[in-house]
Structure 1
Amino acid sequence: MSRTPAALTVENLEVIYDQVILVLRGLSLEVPAGQIVTLLGSNGAGKSTTLKAIAGLLPTEHGDVTDGTVRFDSLDITGMDAAARVRRGIAMVMEGRRVFEHLTVHENLVAGGYTRGAKADYARVYEFLPALAALRSRVAGYLSGGEQQMLAIGRALMSDPRLLLLDEPSLGLAPRLVDEVFRVIQRLNQELGLTALLVEQNARQALAVAHRGYIMESGRIMLDGPAAELADNPDVKEFYLGLGDAGARRRYRDVKHYKRRKRWL
């Protein structure tokens, strides 16, 4: 299903909405080929905007990249439209699943494979996600939240991506279904070699499957490192894993550890 994985590099990215609201402020990150990288942060930090900038979806929300570059396989794709990025191997699973509710499961997959035409490989998607095979004739609007999330992932896989962008895939799901979704993401990486950039509020689960992580606040990267190191970082434990002092809640950028590690002012 998956082609050769590709690396992603984002350098000094700035994004403005409606020509006035600055959301990303010189953001830089790397996603090595064949790895899972997670992007963590509080609501409003700019995580979803980062994914949309990479996928080329900002124009649909009156957003613009005003500075910086996005490189995929060493090619500058900053000015490339969304459809061209899909053809090059970038697929995105949107927050809230956003399946076509009036279409069947199979028809949703057909829509996901439009760039592949006759080469669209439904059998491989059904083989990897067997629950979808049993539901192929079911109207997507009648699926459970977990089933819709699997369908959203399956639809993204239909374009045969090399880089998968996932925006809050565990949102609104019961704990058992969250575990299942993260197992699928890990299998995609381990069995198909798929590169992934994962935005998540569930920091514990995200760091458990990721190779590397970045932490955002106010449109900037505040901390990054191997996922295991971030999971063991006392400030990350306090602010994102709920394992620290439950006393005064300070902003992450005010933590002394951050001040020792910050890159950009």
Structure 2
Amino acid sequence: MALHFHKMHGLGNDFVIVDGREQGVTITPELARDIADRHRGVGCDQLILIEKSNKADVSMRIWNHDGSEVESCGNAARCVVALTGAGTIATPAGVIEGSARGSDIEVSIVEPSFDWQRIPISYAMDTSALPMQWGPLKNGFAVNVGNPHVVFFVDDPDTVNLDQRGPEIENDPVFPERINVHVATVRDDGIHMRSWERGAGLTLACGTGACATAVAAIATKRATSPVEVHMPGGSVTITWEKGEKLLMRGGATHVFEGDLELEHLARCAS
């Protein structure tokens, strides 16, 4: 069986996108891992499946590089809007709205939640300053924007060893569904951040992470809306005020499309 796919990225956060409206396909965690494998598959941070929806123009499902299925992905949402022209996308986290803004794509992200049970965290605590520490990282700000994030404001994100601290925090039992980890600082030109994504590791950009970090910076009065968020792969603009929509605007790039012979993939993976 040949699986038609599109390779796209949002600021270097890359995706294999399969349009299930045009071809019947069942994604399993094993298949997602095989396709995402950068040596034996196509290679990507996340595998995206577009399907029909009775709640929106299309629906979107997301599998991380490790085969785990997750609720939301902001960079992928921009890519799906760019690819399909969809104005609304149903995700497990809720319906995302999207539209073209010149050469950029703007999408609305699920309303932020600061409730410890919705993030989720294992027991009640102040989510704006977590009472725990991992090495030099402390006073994390936890928020759910369709998926769970914790943000640490530091002097210089580039000096933090995210290869070590990222998996340690992601898999801490205090986060029962694991968590995305970000380190950030606010400078005159906006927020500078790096991300360790749950199930994907270090990525060049994290869309929902940029949203979560901007929300944390605005909520703690470190920044004002709108704010530019700079990541290793590029920048997005985040707009948010309490009670208003959370909006993210940035690029979405189509790299190539092709057909993947799943029989050959299975032989390579075995």
| TM-score normalized by the length of structure 1 | 0.28
| TM-score normalized by the length of structure 2 | 0.28
Structure number with the bigger relative contact order (C-alpha 8 A, sep ≥ 6) is: 1
